[in-house]
């Protein structure tokens, strides 16, 4: 009987027993990211274990290592909130001096990356360290109890952007750190999502194999912070892709003229010119994504806010060189 | 190999850079700030000229990241070094706690500089003394030679007790002033300071460890206690390492407080760092004028030399504590520490605090002489005129 090869290594680096919430999208992301990393290390250095993690304070840090336990089956260090990239820089320097072959995976949430950690991130990328920075983007400070970050999307409820008589919730568009990272002209920057695990794994492997810095921003559902059903985490993330909310793209060497756009699926019509995606006509309305999440519930009483959101989505795609039509 | 020093006329900052080189530091992560810059400039030159082998220099984007990168490098097993001053040290503050909590023997040179505002680049000890409670050992250098010796000894002490150490020198008075420094030939430094043997590394891929985990109330307390145990152990280690340094290279650092002409002294001046050079000179002048005075230079502020202070205090009638620093709402920091140490002992000399030299205000031999006169009066009266005196205050 033929045995099918599993689509990804069965080696585990993110062990069961971690204390993440049920349905946590970030936990899925870390599991996949480390598996992808391991495969890349095996292919690049001949040692599937040749990597270490430097992680910023945040949900995934707090749930993963409670003394004397750890969920990590890989060398791991936590050096506060704003500086996973700086700590990773130091490890990279030490490895270069001490002659170790391998790669460092820096991990931070959106708060630790887009806000307090962006300076350290920029420095690490600019200095060309051999580090992949993975930003798990659950779009707010979830560890401290759901406060808005610069990566919180327009319209979302958080405890510091509550909707009310004078507020529609978060009133600024989302900041896309992947674009900022790409502007450092690093070898590889990409967005990904737990809603498309194959694409995510492929991108993590690609990131892990480049020489020099790489950045991946992965969209992760947070059922606690998004007020969404536990069992629908992957479905919701997929809907973000299919409705145009979450573009999947890759930018190599800061070449903004040749951004690679991944097809969103969900029946969207993709128009290409000379191999490049130039237009997408989405078929699934963003409301399908929004309605599964309590954080957007109030928007359905203010349809004009949803229109504002749609205009922002179009503007984001325009930055990527793509004209979109949203239903 | 016979010890033949390499004599060079260099600044305090260059002494720091040469010491880092001779200690064979493996990773330097640093950010420029006046008056620290010539330390990292010199290290960059070593690299550019091939004077250091494959040293990894990480030109970070902030002091906070400098210490974070040193922590990463040290956790990965490397000997890590940085240098900073004042505002930069304050920016690092969070990471200073981290380095000691993670038990990493990072060594740093801090150039004492006044905290702003008013904006200032001149000498003042408040920047480093404000880091008192971070779990770092602190060594105050009197001169350029002590900067050089201090860095090399600090690595040995730090790597023995697994705590970070700060070597402190004065802005401009040492950092930019040239003096003869006896440097130690590389082979002899290597004998004194062998390669680091880390407790753990982030490089054992098959036997991974997690560093920086969450400690619940059930465990956190003991982690803190262990740091204190190591600080206590450091007193012994400092004594041993300082003695060994003296035996090998002729400059003995076994005492955490260096005593100068205190044998029969009625009272002594006590202080930290370069200002004690001025004080020693003043002591000579005062002795020639018939004053029975001495100087007590506190070399190591952390761990604090409690025993040595007690032994000194038992035998004098007065101590004039000279603080080039201040803790607002209280008093000079060294004064505060000294009083605290003596309270539960039977040694209670008259002890007065003189706030001197803040923000680089010149402090000279004639100032010491004026203070001596004041102290003489206090001892005759057997009573303090006041506890804290802002010595230079314009009236």
Q: Please report, for chain A, the start and end positions of each structural domain, with discontinuous segments joined by +.
A: 25-263
Inter-chain contacts counted by CB atoms under 8 A, chains A and B: 171
pLDDT in tens, A175-185: 999 999 999 99
> What pLDDT, on the 0 to 100 scale, is given for residue B54?
83
Average pLDDT over residues B73-97: 98
> What pLDDT, on the 0 to 100 scale, is given for residue B195?
97
Q: Do A98 and B74 touch (CB under 8 A)?
A: no
CA distance to B15, B109, B147, B269, per residue, from B166 (Å) = 15, 6, 11, 24
CB count within 10 Å of CB B296 equals 27
Q: Do A90 and B205 touch (CB under 8 A)?
A: no
ipTM of the complex: 0.95
Q: Do B214 and A50 touch (CB under 8 A)?
A: no
> What pLDDT, on the 0 to 100 scale, is given for residue B206?
84
Q: Do A80 and B70 touch (CB under 8 A)?
A: no
**CA–CA distance, A85 with A113 (Å, rounded to integer):** 9
**Contact call for residues B238 and B90 (beta carbons, < 8 A):** no
**CA–CA distance, B79 with B62 (Å, rounded to integer):** 20
Q: Do A65 and B212 touch (CB under 8 A)?
A: yes
Q: Which residues pair with B85 in a beta bridge?
A: B111
Q: Does A133 touch chain B (CB under 8 A)?
A: no
> What pLDDT, on the 0 to 100 scale, is given for residue B220?
97
The answer, yes or no, to whether the previous bond of B35 is cis (omega within 30 of 0) is yes
A-facing residues of B in 142-201 (CB < 8 A) are: 201
Domain B6-249 is found in CATH 3.40.50.970? yes
CA-based nearest residue in chain A for residue B214: A66
Distance from CA of B196 to the nearest CA of A (A): 12
Q: Is the predicted pLDDT of residue B368 greater than 90, yes or no?
A: yes
Instruction: List the one residue out of B129, B211, B210, B143 whose CA is nearest residue B180.
Output: B143
**CA–CA distance, A31 with A13 (Å, rounded to integer):** 7
pLDDT in tens, B175-215: 999 999 999 999 999 999 999 999 888 988 888 999 999 99
CA-based nearest residue in chain A for residue B200: A75
**Contact call for residues A105 and A53 (beta carbons, < 8 A):** yes
Q: Is the predicted pLDDT of residue B18 greater than 90, yes or no?
A: yes
Print the SS3 string covering chain B. Answer: CCCCCEEEEEEHHHHHHHHHHHCCCCEEECCCCCCCHHHHHHHHHHHHCCCCCCCEEECCCCHHHHHHHHHHHHHCCCCEEEEEEHHHHHHHHHHHHHHHHCCCCCEEEEEECCCCCCCCCCCCCHHHHCCHHHCCEEEECCCHHHHHHHHHHHHHHHHHHCCCEEEEEECCCCCCCEEEEEECCHHHHHHHCCCCCCCCCCCCCCCCCEECCECCCCCHHHHHHHHHHHHHHHHHHHHHHHHHHHHHHCCCCCCCEEEECCCCCCEEEEECCCHHHHHHHHHHHHHHCCCCEEEEEECEEECCCHHHHHHHHHCCCEEEEEECCCCCCCCCHHHHHHHHHHHCCCCCCEEEEEECCHHHCCCCHHHHHHHHHHHHHHHHHCCCCCCEEECCCCC
The answer, yes or no, to whether the previous bond of B338 is cis (omega within 30 of 0) is no
> What pLDDT, on the 0 to 100 scale, is given for residue B40?
98
Cβ neighbours of A102 in B, within 8 Å: 205
**CA–CA distance, B306 with B340 (Å, rounded to integer):** 10
CA-based nearest residue in chain B for residue A38: B205
DSSP A55-69: E-SSHHHHTT-BTT-
What the block records as the tokens of B59 is 């030109």
B-facing residues of A in 38-97 (CB < 8 A) are: 47, 49-52, 54, 62, 64-70, 72-80, 82-83, 85-97
Cβ neighbours of A88 in B, within 8 Å: 72
B212's CB contacts (< 8 A; 6+ apart) are: A65, A77, A78, A79, B98, B102
Q: Is the predicted pLDDT of residue A7 greater than 70, yes or no?
A: yes
Higher pLDDT, B203 or B41: B41
Cβ neighbours of B215 in A, within 8 Å: 67
Residues of chain B with pLDDT > 90, as a percent, come to 96
Residue A53: phi and psi, rounded to 5, are -115, 135
CA-based nearest residue in chain B for residue A55: B212
**CA–CA distance, B133 with B136 (Å, rounded to integer):** 8
**Contact call for residues A238 and A262 (beta carbons, < 8 A):** no
């001495």: which residue's tokens? B294
CB count within 10 Å of CB B48 equals 10
Superfamily (CATH H level) for A25-263: Thiamin diphosphate (ThDP)-binding fold, Pyr/PP domains (3.40.50.970)
**CA–CA distance, A104 with A54 (Å, rounded to integer):** 7
> What pLDDT, on the 0 to 100 scale, is given for residue B204?
85
Q: Is the predicted pLDDT of residue B2 greater than 90, yes or no?
A: no
Q: Do A51 and B72 touch (CB under 8 A)?
A: no
Confidence of residue B394 (pLDDT cuts 50, 70, 90): very high
Q: Does B56 touch chain A (CB under 8 A)?
A: yes
Q: What angle do CA B256, B257, B258 make, to 5 degrees?
A: 115
Q: Is the predicted pLDDT of residue A3 greater than 90, yes or no?
A: no
Q: Is the predicted pLDDT of residue B171 greater than 70, yes or no?
A: yes
CATH topology for B257-390? Rossmann fold (3.40.50)
pLDDT in tens, A262-283: 999 999 999 999 999 999 999 9
> Which regions of chain B carry the CATH code 3.40.50.920?
257-390
What's chain B's average pLDDT? 97
Q: Does B75 touch chain A (CB under 8 A)?
A: yes
What the block records as the tokens of A270 is 């993709």
> What pLDDT, on the 0 to 100 scale, is given for residue A79?
94
**CA–CA distance, B129 with B302 (Å, rounded to integer):** 10
Interface test with A, best of B108, B205, B217, B222 (most A CBs within 10 A): B205
Q: What angle do CA B371, B337, B267 make, to 5 degrees?
A: 35
**CA–CA distance, A58 with B33 (Å, rounded to integer):** 31
Q: Is the predicted pLDDT of residue A1 greater than 70, yes or no?
A: no
**CA–CA distance, B171 with B35 (Å, rounded to integer):** 6
Q: What is the CA radius of gyration of chain B?
A: 21
Q: Which of A79, A94, A119 has its CB closest to that of B77?
A: A94
């740091």: which residue's tokens? B227
Q: Residue A141, SS3?
A: strand
pLDDT in tens, A106-132: 999 999 999 999 999 999 999 999 999
Q: Which of B56, B72, B214 has its CB closest to that of A65?
A: B214
Distance from CA of B199 to the nearest CA of A (A): 14
A-facing residues of B in 224-253 (CB < 8 A) are: none
Average pLDDT over residues B49-78: 96
Q: Does A117 touch chain B (CB under 8 A)?
A: no
What is the maximum span of chain A, computed from C-alpha positions, in angstroms?
65
Residue B381: phi and psi, rounded to 5, are -80, -10
Q: Is the predicted pLDDT of residue B262 greater than 80, yes or no?
A: yes
> Which regions of chain B carry the CATH code 3.40.50.970?
6-249
Average pLDDT over residues B273-299: 98
Total length of chain A: 327
CA distance to B26, B149, B233, per residue, from B53 (Å) = 9, 21, 33
Cβ neighbours of B66 in A, within 8 Å: 86
> What pLDDT, on the 0 to 100 scale, is given for residue B1?
74
Cβ neighbours of A123 in B, within 8 Å: 60-62, 65
Total length of chain B: 395
What's chain A's average pLDDT? 97
Q: Which of A64, A90, A98 has its CB closest to that of B72?
A: A90
**CA–CA distance, B58 with B66 (Å, rounded to integer):** 8
Instruction: List the one residue out of B121, B205, B166 whose CA is nearest residue A38.
Output: B205
Cβ neighbours of A73 in B, within 8 Å: 208
Q: Which of B57, B61, B72 has its CB closest to that of A119?
A: B61
Q: Do B76 and A79 touch (CB under 8 A)?
A: no
Q: Is the predicted pLDDT of residue A2 greater than 80, yes or no?
A: no
pLDDT in tens, A18-44: 999 999 999 999 999 999 999 999 999
Distance from CA of A188 to the nearest CA of B (A): 21
**CA–CA distance, B176 with B12 (Å, rounded to integer):** 6
Cβ neighbours of B70 in A, within 8 Å: 90
Q: Do A75 and B204 touch (CB under 8 A)?
A: yes
Cβ neighbours of B206 in A, within 8 Å: 49
Q: Do B73 and A126 touch (CB under 8 A)?
A: no
pLDDT in tens, B216-230: 999 999 999 999 999
Residues of chain B with pLDDT > 70, as a percent, come to 100
Q: Is the predicted pLDDT of residue B338 greater than 70, yes or no?
A: yes
Q: Does B43 touch chain A (CB under 8 A)?
A: no
**CA–CA distance, A134 with A192 (Å, rounded to integer):** 10
Distance from CA of A155 to the nearest CA of B (A): 34
> What pLDDT, on the 0 to 100 scale, is given for residue B221?
98
């Amino acid at each position: 009987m033929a045995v099918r090869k599993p689509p990804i290594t069965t080696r585990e680096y993110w062990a069961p027993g971690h204390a993440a919430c049920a349905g946590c999208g970030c936990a899925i992301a870390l599991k996949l990211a480390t598996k992808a990393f391991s495969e890349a290390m095996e292919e690049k250095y001949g040692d599937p274990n040749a990597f270490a993690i430097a992680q910023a304070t945040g949900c995934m840090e707090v749930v993963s290592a409670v003394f004397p336990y750890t969920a990590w089956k890989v060398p791991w260090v936590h050096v506060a909130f704003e500086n996973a990239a700086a700590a990773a820089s130091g490890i990279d320097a030490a490895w270069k001096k001490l002659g170790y072959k391998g790669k460092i995976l820096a991990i931070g949430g959106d708060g630790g990356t887009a806000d307090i950690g962006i300076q350290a991130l920029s420095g690490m990328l600019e200095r060309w360290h051999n580090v992949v920075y993975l930003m798990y983007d659950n779009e707010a400070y979830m560890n401290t109890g759901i406060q808005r970050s610069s990566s919180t999307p327009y319209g979302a409820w958080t405890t510091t952007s509550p909707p009310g008589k004078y507020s529609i919730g978060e009133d600024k568009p989302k900041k896309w750190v992947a674009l900022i990272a790409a502007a450092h002209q690093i070898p590889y920057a990409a967005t990904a999502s737990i809603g498309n695990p194959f694409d995510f794994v492929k991108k993590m492997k690609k990131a892990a194999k480049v020489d020099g810095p790489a950045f991946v921003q992965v969209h992760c559902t947070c059922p606690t912070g998004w007020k969404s059903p536990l069992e629908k985490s992957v479905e919701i993330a997929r809907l973000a892709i299919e409705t145009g909310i979450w573009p999947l793209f890759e930018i190599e060497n800061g070449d903004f003229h040749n951004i690679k756009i991944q097809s969103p699926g969900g029946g969207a019509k993709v128009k290409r010119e000379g191999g490049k995606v130039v237009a997408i006509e989405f078929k699934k309305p963003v409301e399908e994504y929004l309605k599964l999440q309590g954080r957007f519930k109030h928007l359905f009483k203010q349809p004009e806010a949803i229109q504002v959101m749609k205009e922002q989505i179009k503007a984001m795609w325009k930055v990527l060189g793509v004209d979109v039509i949203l239903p | 190999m016979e010890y033949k020093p390499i004599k060079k006329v260099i600044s305090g900052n260059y002494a720091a850079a040469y010491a880092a080189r001779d200690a064979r530091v493996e990773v330097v992560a640093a950010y420029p700030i006046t008056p620290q810059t010539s330390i990292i400039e010199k290290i960059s030159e070593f690299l550019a000229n091939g004077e250091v082998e494959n040293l990894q220099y990480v030109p970070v984007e902030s002091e906070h990241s400098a210490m974070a990168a040193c922590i990463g490098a040290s956790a990965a097993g490397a000997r890590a070094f940085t240098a900073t001053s004042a505002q930069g040290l304050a920016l690092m503050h969070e990471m200073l706690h981290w380095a000691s909590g993670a038990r990493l023997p990072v060594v740093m040179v801090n150039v004492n500089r006044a905290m702003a505002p008013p904006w200032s680049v001149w000498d003042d000890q408040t920047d480093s003394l404000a880091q008192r409670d971070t779990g770092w050992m602190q060594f105050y250098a009197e001169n350029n030679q002590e900067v050089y010796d201090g860095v090399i000894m600090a690595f040995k002490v730090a790597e023995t007790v697994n705590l970070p150490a700060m070597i402190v020198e004065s802005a401009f008075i040492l950092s930019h002033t040239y003096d003869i420094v006896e440097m130690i030939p590389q082979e002899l430094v290597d004998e004194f300071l062998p390669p680091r043997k880390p407790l753990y590394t982030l490089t054992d891929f098959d036997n991974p460890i997690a560093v920086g985990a969450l400690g619940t109330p059930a465990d956190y307390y003991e982690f803190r206690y262990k740091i204190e145990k190591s600080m206590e152990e450091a007193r012994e280690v400092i004594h041993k390492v300082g003695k060994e340094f003296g035996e090998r290279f002729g400059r003995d650092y076994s005492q955490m407080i260096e005593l100068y002409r205190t044998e029969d002294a009625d009272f002594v001046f006590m202080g930290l760092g370069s200002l004690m050079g001025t004080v020693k000179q003043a002591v000579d002048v005062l002795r020639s004028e018939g004053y029975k005075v001495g100087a007590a230079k506190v070399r190591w502020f952390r761990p604090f030399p409690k025993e040595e202070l007690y032994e000194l205090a038992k035998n004098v009638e007065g101590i004039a504590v000279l603080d080039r620093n201040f803790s607002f709402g209280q008093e000079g920091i060294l004064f505060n520490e000294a009083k605290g140490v003596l309270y539960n002992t039977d040694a209670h000399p008259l002890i007065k605090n003189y706030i001197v030299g803040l923000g680089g205000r010149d402090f000279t031999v004639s100032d010491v002489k004026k203070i001596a006169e004041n102290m003489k009066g206090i001892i005759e009266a057997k009573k303090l005129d006041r506890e804290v005196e802002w010595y230079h205050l314009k009236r």
